[in-house]
């Protein structure tokens, strides 16, 4: 924050101008390097084909699934219905959205695969859907991580051996094993058991997304716990003494005096942890959650444009993490005391 | 009011340190007792034992007849009756001055917000700092902070007040304003135990002066006798060094 410029020989205006210019130059050099690199690889850049993965806006056909006469064309609520009756007299309804155009009329004969109607498809593309899943998983895991972290952090400094050792064991196990392995274990081992039990009592299984959120929240919680513990211990012990000497209980003092002060201090390390979490969510692709990375991989296999799409993927992660970073800076400024 | 008998306290840091060696002291209601002594003599430790910020290892401490060394003692209730003022103020930096005064009132005394604020403003006026009610502690001078800290303790309507070197961290020109507040308090009949190096205050306000050295009370007496005719050699030496 404060820069103690007086500690060294004062720097003149030229110093700052020069180094600012050097920064710009370094950035330009970096851009130039990538420019040269990208034009020297044998690769046809087709950026114009990227937007379709963000937002799908294309004509879609409704094709006949049976062969026969078109018997009925009517509206069913918001949709239009085209009924084709085949030779055996069975009716095959085909639905298309209300604003679509029906291209046949009653009495026409439709072969299998004929276009019955056409409408404009207008929906988020796979990348945007992936981004949304990443955001959703991250937000849920951050909330879970904060709750788990604060509780564990408090247990970590409790005098109760069970709570203290329990939290230490949890922290060490989680921090000491790879997240990928944890995700596998949660989904394939714990998840299988839980889903089997749920099925046994007649309930539906839990979707992979929630196992992913759980794995991420528990993983982040262990790191948050240590951050919270350090934050609590960094508050001067006089604060606890003052609060207790007024007759407040330990819990009251913690909630009203210690934690509010601790939270201000742990905001920057927490932000770093949550930025990590957003990036770590890219591992969830392994348990069939189609988050941003998995979505990108799928698009790459169909489009065969790896470079554009991975760059786009990286930029989208940057948008998420940078937004979070700005948000935390805003919180820090607001809670400057 | 306060009855401490044969109090012992050990610190393990990690060597065993016998910080209090059988300290006994009784304080009557409305009495002002000033504890003086060289640093490391155990006077602050003894004061902190009185509201169990330090748990005395042996002896008994009765506050209004309640044995605070009894594990079943509702210590929070006792602490609410015994205000404490610290050398380093220990105001809550994330709360405004008025919020510092209302926090314990609402959480411990279960007073309503309006009532707590009314009481808080009354006390701020009393310590002469009412106009600063909405600023944060770090915007105040040391003397102002300490006056707020005294008001914060008074907001609980304590029956006794403990002062742990309340002026030691203050710039010299701010010592007076804090001592004035304490003098007013003594005049109003507050029971006070004060650890301080302010001999002028001790002489003027104290009913009794206690001299501690190496974890024991060496001498107790009225200020007049204490400062003019000390009995113990150690007391004489100490007084000659600081006066």
The sign of the dihedral angle between the CA atoms of A256, A262, A265, A270 is negative
Enter the DSSP assignment of A171.
Answer: H
Could A246 and B152 be called an inter-chain contact, meaning their C-beta atoms sit closer than 8 Å? yes
* Portion 239-258 of A in contact with B at CB < 8 A: 239, 241-249, 252, 256-257
Are A145 and A277 in contact by the 8 Å Cβ rule? The answer is yes
Enter the DSSP assignment of A85.
Answer: E
pLDDT digits (tens, 9 = 90+) for B107-164: 999 999 999 999 999 999 999 999 999 999 999 999 999 999 999 999 999 999 999 9
Could A239 and B90 be called an inter-chain contact, meaning their C-beta atoms sit closer than 8 Å? yes
pLDDT digits (tens, 9 = 90+) for A306-333: 989 999 999 999 999 999 999 988 888 8
The confidence score (pLDDT) of residue A337 equals: 55
Residue B153 distance to chain A (closest CA, Å): 7
- Position A82 pLDDT exceeds 90: no
* Chain B hits for A249, Cβ within 8 Å: 76
The confidence score (pLDDT) of residue A115 equals: 86
Q: How many CB pairs under 8 A join A and B?
A: 65
Chain B residue with CA closest to A236: the answer is B90
Chain B interface includes A261 (CB < 8 A): yes
For residue A86, what are the β-bridge partners?
Answer: A68
For residue B12, what are the β-bridge partners?
Answer: B16
* Three-state secondary structure call for residue A118: strand
pLDDT digits (tens, 9 = 90+) for A143-159: 999 999 999 999 999 99
The dihedral over CA atoms of A218, A222, A223, A228, expressed in degrees to the nearest 10, equals: 120
- Whether the complex's predicted ipTM is more than 0.85 is answered with yes
Q: How far apart are CA A97 and CA A110, in angstroms?
A: 20
- Position A2 pLDDT exceeds 50: yes
Q: How does strand B160-164 pair with strand B82-85?
A: parallel
The confidence score (pLDDT) of residue A153 equals: 95
Nearest to B88 among A238, A260, A261 (CB): A238
The confidence score (pLDDT) of residue A290 equals: 92
Tell me how many degrees the CA angle B145-B148-B149 measures, rounded to the nearest 5.
85
* Chain B hits for A260, Cβ within 8 Å: 94
Nearest to B90 among A241, A256, A337 (CB): A241
Neighbours of A226 (CB within 10 A): 18
A101-115, A241-255, B201-215: range with lowest mean pLDDT: A101-115
Mean pLDDT, rounded, for B45-70: 93
Chain A residue with CA closest to B87: the answer is A238
Residue A251 distance to chain B (closest CA, Å): 11
pLDDT digits (tens, 9 = 90+) for A88-142: 888 888 888 888 888 888 888 888 888 888 888 888 889 999 999 999 999 999 9
pLDDT class for A4, splitting at 50, 70, 90? Answer: low
Give the residue from B50, B40, B51 showing the smallest Cα distance to B11.
B40
DSSP string, chain B: -EEEEEEEEEEESSSEEEEEEEEEEEE-TT-EEEEE--TTSSHHHHHHHHTTSS--SEEEEEETTEETTSTTS-HHHHHHHEEEE-TT----TTS-HHHHHHHHHHHTS---HHHHHHHHHHHHHHTT-GGGTTS-GGGS-HHHHHHHHHHHHHTT--SEEEEESTTTTS-HHHHHHHHHHHHHHHHTT-EEEEE-S-HHHHHHH-SEEEEEETTEEEEEE-HHHHHHS--SHHHHHHHHHH-
Mean pLDDT, rounded, for A28-41: 92
Chain A interface mutation, best of B104, B163, B165, B193, highest count of A Cβ atoms under 10 Å: B104
End-to-end CA distance of chain B: 32
Q: What percent of chain A has pLDDT over 90?
A: 58
Q: What does the block give as tokens for B154?
A: 């008074």
For residue B209, what are the β-bridge partners?
Answer: B34, B221
Q: How far apart are CA A337 and CA B13, in angstroms?
A: 34
Could B86 and A238 be called an inter-chain contact, meaning their C-beta atoms sit closer than 8 Å? yes
pLDDT digits (tens, 9 = 90+) for A214-239: 999 999 999 999 999 999 999 999 99
- Position B28 pLDDT exceeds 90: yes
Q: Give chain A's mean pLDDT.
A: 90
Mean pLDDT, rounded, for B87-98: 94
Q: Give chain B's mean pLDDT.
A: 93
Nearest to B92 among A239, A244, A252 (CB): A239
The confidence score (pLDDT) of residue A288 equals: 87
Find tokens 């949304």 and name the residue.
Answer: A132
Q: Which residues contact A326 (CB under 8 A, 6 or more apart)?
A: none
Chain B interface mutation, best of A159, A245, A332, A334, highest count of B Cβ atoms under 10 Å: A245
The confidence score (pLDDT) of residue B182 equals: 94
Mean pLDDT, rounded, for B63-73: 92
Are B121 and B98 in contact by the 8 Å Cβ rule? The answer is yes
Mean pLDDT, rounded, for B13-39: 92
* Chain A hits for B81, Cβ within 8 Å: 247
Residue A247 distance to chain B (closest CA, Å): 4
- Position A1 pLDDT exceeds 60: no
């Amino acid at each position: 924050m404060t820069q103690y410029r007086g500690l060294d020989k004062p720097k003149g205006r030229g110093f700052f101008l020069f180094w600012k210019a050097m920064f710009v130059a370094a950035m330009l050099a970096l851009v130039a390097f990538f420019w040269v690199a990208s034009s020297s690889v044998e690769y046809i850049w087709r950026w114009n084909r990227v937007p379709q993965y963000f937002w799908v806006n294309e004509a879609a056909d409704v094709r006949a699934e049976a062969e026969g006469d078109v018997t009925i064309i009517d509206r069913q609520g918001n949709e239009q219905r085209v009924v084709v009756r085949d030779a055996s007299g069975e009716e095959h309804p085909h639905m298309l959205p209300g604003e679509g155009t029906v291209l046949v009329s009653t009495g026409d004969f439709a072969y299998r695969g004929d276009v019955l109607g056409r409408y404009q498809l207008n929906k988020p593309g796979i990348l945007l859907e992936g981004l949304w899943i990443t955001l959703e998983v991250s937000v849920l895991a951050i909330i879970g991580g904060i709750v788990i972290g604060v509780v564990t952090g408090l247990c970590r400094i409790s005098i109760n051996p069970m709570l203290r050792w329990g939290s230490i064991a949890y922290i060490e196990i989680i921090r000491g094993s790879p997240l990928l392995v944890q995700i596998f274990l949660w989904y394939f081992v714990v998840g299988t058991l839980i889903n089997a039990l749920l099925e046994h009592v007649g309930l539906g299984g839990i979707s992979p997304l929630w196992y992913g959120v759980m794995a991420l929240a528990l993983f982040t919680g262990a790191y948050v716990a240590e951050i919270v513990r350090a934050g609590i211990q960094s508050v001067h012990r006089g604060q606890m003494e003052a609060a207790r000497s007024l007759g407040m209980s330990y819990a009251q003092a913690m909630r009203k005096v210690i934690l509010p002060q601790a939270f201000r201090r742990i905001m920057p390390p927490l932000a770093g942890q949550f930025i990590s979490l957003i990036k770590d969510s890219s591992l969830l692709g392994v348990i069939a959650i189609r988050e941003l990375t998995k979505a990108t991989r799928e698009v790459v296999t169909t489009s065969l444009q790896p470079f554009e799409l991975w760059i786009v993927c990286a930029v989208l992660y940057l948008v998420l993490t940078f937004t979070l970073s700005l948000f935390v800076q805003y919180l820090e400024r607001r809670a400057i005391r | 009011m306060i009855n401490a008998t044969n109090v012992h306290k050990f610190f393990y840091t990690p060597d065993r340190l016998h910080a209090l060696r059988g300290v006994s002291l009784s304080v009557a209601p409305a009495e002002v007792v000033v504890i003086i002594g060289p640093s490391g003599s155990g006077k602050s430790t003894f004061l902190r034992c009185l509201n169990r910020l330090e748990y005395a290892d042996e002896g008994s401490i009765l506050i209004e007849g309640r044995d605070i060394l009894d594990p079943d003692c509702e210590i929070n209730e006792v602490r609410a009756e015994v205000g404490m003022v610290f050398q380093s103020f220990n105001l809550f930096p994330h709360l405004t001055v008025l919020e510092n005064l209302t926090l314990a009132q609402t959480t411990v005394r279960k007073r309503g917000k309006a009532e707590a604020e009314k009481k808080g403003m009354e006390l701020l006026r009393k310590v002469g700092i009412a106009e600063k009610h909405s600023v944060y502690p770090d915007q105040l001078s040391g003397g102002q902070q300490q006056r707020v800290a005294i008001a914060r303790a008074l907001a609980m309507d304590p029956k006794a007040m403990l002062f742990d070197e309340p002026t030691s961290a203050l710039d010299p020109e701010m010592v007076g304003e804090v001592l004035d507040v304490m003098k007013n308090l003594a005049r109003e009949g507050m029971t006070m135990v004060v650890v301080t190096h302010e001999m002028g205050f001790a002489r003027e306000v104290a009913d009794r002066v206690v001299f501690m050295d190496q974890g024991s009370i060496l001498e107790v007496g009225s200020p007049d006798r204490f400062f003019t005719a000390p009995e113990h050699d150690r007391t004489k030496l100490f007084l000659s060094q600081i006066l």
